[in-house]
Structure 1
Amino acid sequence: MHLLLVEDDDKKANDICRFIDEEYSELINITRKRSWQSGLIEIFDSGEKYKMILLDMSMPRYDPDVGDVNEEFETFAGREFLEEMDRCGIFIPVCIITAFDYFGENENMINYEQLDQNLLKKFSSFYVGMVYFRSSTTNWRQKLKGFLQMEDLK
């Protein structure tokens, strides 16, 4: 079984990979990409092999090795990623894993629960839900495990 993890934070990515390895050992292989662009390229090039995508909500638009464009950090990169998948007819199940409880600024600010509900409504054919990640707690593990079991990964 193959999962795609699109996550720019090394600590968070390592925690997620370690948890999946502990729970599912040799059943799941994880490919990691670090930006909106590299994640999209991966699913366009070989998306059919992935059973599920674990996606960060806020991340850089480009990988750091692209040059000075890596400064383009996108608060709603995950939502834009889902929009591109929908536009291209790619319906691999997606679970967003985020460490933020609020997104945007001022009148554009939205909380975690509101964003999750908006995404469930707009991308109901492939968006499965959101996990609120905190490395200091284990709550995120149980919620992620629930989404993984929904997709029959075990």
Structure 2
Amino acid sequence: MKKFKILLVEDDEIKRDDIIFFIDEIDPSIEIIKSISVNKSLKILINDIENIDLIILDMSMPLNDINPNYGSNFSHEKFGGLTFLSNMIEREIYVPVIVITMYDSIQETSFNDIKTMINNSFSDICLDLIYYNARDNSWKVKLKQLMEPLING
């Protein structure tokens, strides 16, 4: 039987580890591929499209991985997740996506407005936008609700 495989696109190490730990609690057999940037994640997705069952995507992330030759000077995009989703649509990639953000607003755009943007533009692939708060377990409840039908389906 094929292992369920998740592409986790998250540049914040603490949040990424928290998500991985929780997924492992749901089902330790789930394979997780980690990535921290838009462009690297797109390459991973394109190269392994037949095997990736779900993408868990951050909203705010760098376009490219940090290059050690250039120090920490890299482009961080507040709406990098939207760039990633747009690239998926352009390439007609229809892998389910769950977006998880730890910001209740981004550049004066509220969480609810971001959710509306995602629903209006990416409803074919995006299952939902979840607000992540390390001190509150509601994100875990929502993530599990969205993942279970995919894992068991």
Q: 1:63·1:70 contact (CA, 8 Å) conserved in 2?
A: no
SS of 1:8's equivalent?
A: coil
Higher helix share: 1
Between 141-150 and 68-77, report the one with greater CA deviation.
Answer: 68-77
Which residue does 1:82 correspond to in 2?
A: 85
Which residue of structure 2 aligns with residue 53 of structure 1?
A: 55
One-letter identity of the residue aligned with 2:47: D
Post-superposition offset of 1:74: 0.0
1:44 aligned counterpart, secondary structure? helix
Provide TM-score, normalisation by structure 1: 0.91
Instruction: Give the structure 2 partner of residue 63 of structure 1.
Output: 65
Aligned to 1:118: 117
Q: CA deviation at 1:150?
A: 3.6
What TM-score, normalized by structure 2, do the two folds share? Answer: 0.91
Q: Secondary structure at the match of 1:96?
A: strand
1:45–1:124 Cα change, 3 Å: same
Q: Does 1:98 align with 2:97?
A: no
Closer, same or farther in 2 for the Cα pair 1:138/1:54, shift >3 Å? same
Question: 1-side partners of 2:128 and 2:149: how far apart?
Answer: 11
Instruction: Compare 130-139 and 1-10 and name the one that shifted more.
Output: 130-139
Whether the 8 Å contact between 1:61 and 1:70 is mirrored in structure 2 is no
- The one-letter code sitting in structure 1 at the alignment partner of 2:97 is V
Deviating 4+ runs (over 4 angstroms): none
Gaps of 5+ in 1: none
Deviation of 1:66 (Å): 5.9
Q: 1:133: which partner in 2?
A: 132
CA distance in 2, matches of 1:50, 1:116: 24
What secondary structure sits across from 2:139 in the alignment? Answer: helix
1:65: how far off? 2.9
Asked if 2 retains the 8 angstrom alpha-carbon contact of 1:60 and 1:70, the reply is: no
Separation in 1, partners of 2:106, 2:83: 14
Of the three residues 14, 18, 34, the one matched with 1:11 is 14
Question: Which amino acid is the alignment partner of residue 43 of structure 2?
Answer: I
Give 1:71 shift. Answer: 2.1
2:24 matches 1:25: no
Give the CA deviation at 1:70: 4.8
Q: Among the aligned pairs, what percent are the same residue?
A: 31
Q: What is the CA–CA distance in structure 2 between the aligned matches of 1:5 and 1:84, rounded to whole Å?
A: 16
Distance 1:70 1:116 in 2: 30
